[in-house]
Amino acid sequence: MKTYKAYLFQGQGCDYTIGCGETIIDVPANSMEEAKKKLVEIIKEEYSHEERQLESAKIFEVEQSFDIDMKSIYNKINEDREIKSKQESIERERVEFERLKAKFG
C-alpha cells in the first residue's frame, strides 16, 4: 500500500485562525485512482454537511518521509539563545565598564 495524503481546503473567512479550514488527511490506497475514489467517499461521509463543505482538495503521493528529531532541534535553539544572551550581557558590561572607566579614570 502506498502513502497518499490529501490537502483539504474549506475556503477563506472562517475566523482569522491560522490554518482554519485547512487539513491534511491520510488516504490509504494502492494507486492514485483508488486514492481518488476513497477521497470521494471520505468527502461524502465527512464533508458533505453545508458547514464543512470543501472549496478544493489535492492528493499527494508520498514517496519518502523522514522523522525529525525535534528534541535536538529545540535543544540547539535554546543553546544558541543562551550563547547570544551571554554575549549581549558581556557586551553591556563592557560598555558600562568603559563608561565608568572614562568617568573615574
Looking at the fold, whether 24 and 53 belong to one and the same domain comes out as yes
Residues 58 and 20 occupy one common structural domain: yes
CA-CA distance, 104 to 97, in Å (whole number)? Answer: 10
pTM for the predicted model, two decimal places: 0.65
Do residues 22 and 45 share a domain? Answer: yes
The per-residue pLDDT for range 9-22, each reduced to its tens digit, is: 987 766 666 667 88
Output the average pLDDT for the chain: 92
Domain that holds residue 77: 67-105
Q: What is the 3-state secondary structure (H, E, C) of 31-98?
A: CHHHHHHHHHHHHHHHCCCHHHCCCEEEEEEECCCCCCCHHHHHHHHHHHHHHHHHHHHHHHHHHHHH
Considering the domain architecture, whether residues 58 and 71 belong to the same structural domain is answered as no
**47 and 80 fall within a common domain:** no
Query: 57-77, pLDDT tens digit by residue?
Result: 999 999 888 999 999 999 999
